[in-house]
Amino acid sequence: MPANPKLNSTTEGNVDNASTDIDINSSIDADVASDKADIDTDDDISGDDEDELTDSEAAMSAENDESPEEDIGKKINQLRLAKGYSQRKLAKLSGLTNTSISSIERNKVSPAVNTLKAILAVLGSDLTTFFSDEWKEPKARVVVTPKDLLELSEPSSRVSLRQVYNCSTTKNLGFLIEVYQPNSSTEEKIAHEGEEIGTVIEGKILIRIDETTYLLNQGDSYVIDTIRPHTFINPTDGVTRIVSAHTPTTY
């Protein structure tokens, strides 16, 4: 049978086209491989850059941690306790809220210059002294004598709250020696972040938490969440004495 010229022509054309396609595909594959190699190289470079950026950010973070701003709260706390002021008293004298003073002392917020000046004026200091290189932290004591106790109550108050303060800036626990004169009480509905544990060592005490009142006799102890408004009341004609511990150390 004679060969079909159309079939042979088409077949040969297909072979030629297939050959051309193979050449083109080979070229494309080579280009793709080259591009992939470039991409892999870029990824390696990018990874190195990320590592360098991370190290840089870590260094900046470390510098920020060591910045003087981190010491503002600690310094204010030291000045306040050295003055024998409670947070509430400092807040009242400086025209701020107790919450503001607490947040500043714990470095949760950074005070504006005018706010800091107002606080320092109450504490007998100023901006120049406060940020001076001569600022020195007081040395922590092991023994705290009665004369070293800090009275946190107002002089006219019939409730004495004396804090055992050893000048440490790293302690996590506050300790109070409390004396309630007959028929005396603390401020109405005190509330502050933290918790408190105490023991009545003499007399009786009423603790009003929200709308509930608890009567404690000598030897009884209490554990309260101080964020809940509370009041301590001595309802008797005798003196009541309590020892208590609280967190945070600021009060």
Residue 87's contacts (CB-CB under 8 Å, 6 or more residues apart) are 80, 98, 101, 102, 105, 192, 250, 251
67 against 215, higher pLDDT:
215
pLDDT at 41 over 50: no
Backbone angles phi, psi at 240, to 5 degrees: -115, 135
The candidate with the shortest Cα–Cα distance to 202, out of 240, 176, 160, is 240
The candidate with the shortest Cα–Cα distance to 74, out of 176, 181, 208, 167, is 167
Question: How would residue 140 be classed by pLDDT, with cut points 50, 70 and 90?
Answer: confident
Amino acid code (one letter) for 44: D
Q: Is 199 exposed, middle or buried (0-12, 13-18, 19+ CB in 10 A)?
A: middle
pLDDT at 72 over 50: yes
| Residue 215: strand pairing partners | 206
For the chain, give the percent of residues with pLDDT over 90.
38
What are the pLDDT digits (tens) for 96-117? 998 899 899 988 899 999 999 9
pLDDT at 246 over 50: yes
pLDDT at 52 over 90: no
Task: State the chain's maximal CA–CA distance in angstroms.
Answer: 135
Q: How high is the pLDDT of residue 199? A: 98
The candidate with the shortest Cα–Cα distance to 174, out of 185, 162, 186, is 162
Mean pLDDT, residues 133-145: 81
DSSP state of 195: E
Distance CA(236)–CA(238), nearest Å, equals 5
Radius of gyration of the chain (CA): 37
pLDDT at 150 over 70: yes
Minimum mean pLDDT range among 28-37, 129-138, 181-190: 28-37
Question: How would residue 250 be classed by pLDDT, with cut points 50, 70 and 90?
Answer: low
Instruction: Report the predicted TM-score, pTM, of the whole model to 2 decimal places.
Output: 0.59
Q: How high is the pLDDT of residue 144? A: 92
